Amino acid sequence: MSSSKWKNDDGAISDINVVPLVDIILVVLIIFMVTAPLIMKPSITVNLPKASSGDSAEKTPFTITMSGDGRIFLNNKETDLGGIQAAAQAEVQKNPEIQAIISADKDVPHGKVVSVMDSVKQGGVKKFAISIEKSK
């Protein structure tokens, strides 16, 4: 009898089956697409005033946001004027050249923005910037 019926194929596999690889990649892509919105941290909605001039400011660990309903946030955590002043004093001890960035909704009264600026200055921060939205 001939041995062709029981042929021994010990050679290397020369082609790769790509279909399972594509299936796995698509499943991973779908998982990332579904979980990405859940991972994104919620942000505070602020309607910034528009201005035609303005320079971009560097990112700073001391960002104050004032929402339209009057709430004040320091680095996305709600606080009050005393908390801002205490945090400013702590940040100035770490870095005396720190810059505070104030983002205030256009509906926030001018006096409230000034009181936040005053708290920042009382905390020892010498430089601050006010966020705007560039008008087109």
Among 88, 93, 98, residue whose Cα is nearest residue 58:
98
Query: In order of start, what are the domains of the chain with their CATH numbers?
Result: 50-134 (3.30.420.270)
What are 21-44's pLDDT values in tens digits? 999 999 999 999 888 877 765 555
**pTM of the predicted protein model:** 0.57
What are 53-110's pLDDT values in tens digits? 555 555 567 888 888 888 889 888 888 988 988 998 998 898 888 888 888 888 888 8
Distance CA 103, CA 64 (A): 6
Distance CA 23, CA 11 (A): 27
